[in-house]
Amino acid sequence: MSYDKLPLEPLFKKIDELKPKFIERLRKAIAIPSVSSDETLRPRVVDMANFLKNELTTLGFHDIQMKDLGIQPPPVADPNLKLPPIVLGRFGNDASKKTVLVYGHYDVQPALKEDGWATDPFDMYHDEAKDILFGRGTTDDKGPVIGWLNVIEAHNELKWELPVNLVVCFEGMEESGSLGLEGLIAKEAKQYFSKVDTVCISDNYWLGTSKPVLTYGLRGCNYYQIIVNGPGADLHSGIFGGIVAEPMTDLIKVMSQLVDSTGKILIPGIDDMIAPLTDKEDALYDDIDFSVEELNAASGSKTSLHDNKKDILKHRWRYPSLSLHGIEGGFSGAGAKTVIPAKVIGKFSIRTVPDIDSAKLDQLVFDHVNKLNAQLNSPNTLKVELIHDGNYWVSNPFNEAFTAAAKATEDVWNIKPDFTREGGSIPITITFEKELGTDVLLLPMGRGDDGAHSINEKLNLSNYINGCKTLGGYLHYYGKS
């Protein structure tokens, strides 16, 4: 061991002993179809909040609050639809201890048996031969949320004091845009969250299936659209083809000059903003367990633009990418339709990384698109606009929280974790850092093949139980740091 190991065997043994109870607790949580995007299921999302409130009460949490977020803004079918509450609770209030805030979400993606599930998505199925738990929410994010409760129960059973003060923040709209959460964090930053030293989120996954990871970075996402207006109505190409300027021709010409087929972004100035790669950061990629074969398996094809692990991961995590997503307004059905569309809208996004400034990026995009349009000398009108943006996030993987999580991971799994970033976005990480003035750690429980938003979502039982040990161990190593 490359660190001072804490005497946590009794805790790990107790978690093993309580395994049947922990499986049952997760089963009860999975049975509540808390689908936030389905208005008809909103009462069940509230049921899930109450389930958590009852669990927290039983475990001895105090100052438990159900924060009302008011009415859900449009578009909604029911104009009086209430947002589900955010569940807050505290365990311990010792001024001499550090305070850890743990965030998770209790809502889930939609799921129906007829979507292709092998079993009922809301009746957790334990495949005992493979020791896998199947059900909607097992890995995203009810498994990790319930994991934190299990950690408290194990401490209670041992009559062990928690090594930190714990604050929980569980929301019910994460799968539907986290409506209301940012405002609540800002409001409670100097109140409920005033003593928080660090934030831990368990809402992501290992890179692969065999090696635990800690995640210290996420790319942001700026999403744009290009609108080209031409004729007053859709036209027949037999009558007007060759004699009017066609919006689709202009759009395709412009979109073809945003990125090339090797993935290189063609907008000047973006590369100049990317933070340089340090030797220390580069070294983090050396031991990561990943291969081109895993990429091919994940994409279902042999279409990788890079032929080695380090290049693949750097282009997924620490370099920007530009993706063309689609065109609205043109003919896209089967068959042959000879229409000249009057208006077309092209959609594309840029995944952002340190140190890309979002406003500066927008200006570079607008200037490039407008310059390309000017070169067309087309009588059509073109407009480019930002639809939405979310900033990148990167933390220091060598800080106290990450070091504690690395020790806990090695203690439980007998292997040093990989330090990873992710290509996607979890906007709430930035909100916590900005509003609370603290660091965020992403400490995943599940594996890369869990199928979080897919059919047959699962959580390996070893990840669930060892995940509980890792969460508990993290609190101890952080409390001692």
Residue ranges of the binding site for substrate: 203, 236, 338, 351, 425, 453
- Which among 324, 321, 323 has a CA at the least distance from the CA of 313? 321
**Collapsed DSSP state (helix, strand, coil) of residue 7:** coil
Give whole-number Cα distances, 480 to 117, 273, 289, 312, 413, in Å: 44, 39, 30, 37, 20
Q: Which residues pair with 214 in a beta bridge?
A: 419
Binding residues for Mn(2+): 105, 140, 175, 203, 453
Q: Does a cis peptide bond (omega within 30 degrees of 0) precede residue 141? A: yes
Instruction: State the DSSP code for 35.
Output: B
- Which among 26, 27, 25, 47 has a CA at the least distance from the CA of 36? 47
Is 145 in contact with 171 (CB distance < 8 Å)? no
Token digits for 270? 């973006």
Binding residues: 105, 140, 175, 203, 236, 338, 351, 425, 453
Residue 171 is a catalytic residue: no
DSSP string, 52-108: HHHHHHHHT-EEEEEE---BPPSS-SSTTPBPPPEEEEEE---TTS-EEEEEEE--B
Name the active-site residue from 55, 107, 246, 439: 107
Q: How far apart are CA 167 and CA 169, in angstroms?
A: 7
DSSP string, 303-326: --S-SSHHHHHHHHHTS-EEEEEE
Residue 47 is a catalytic residue: no
Name the active-site residue from 141, 174, 418, 457: 174
Q: How far apart are CA 16 and CA 381, in angstroms?
A: 66
Active site residues per annotation: 107, 174
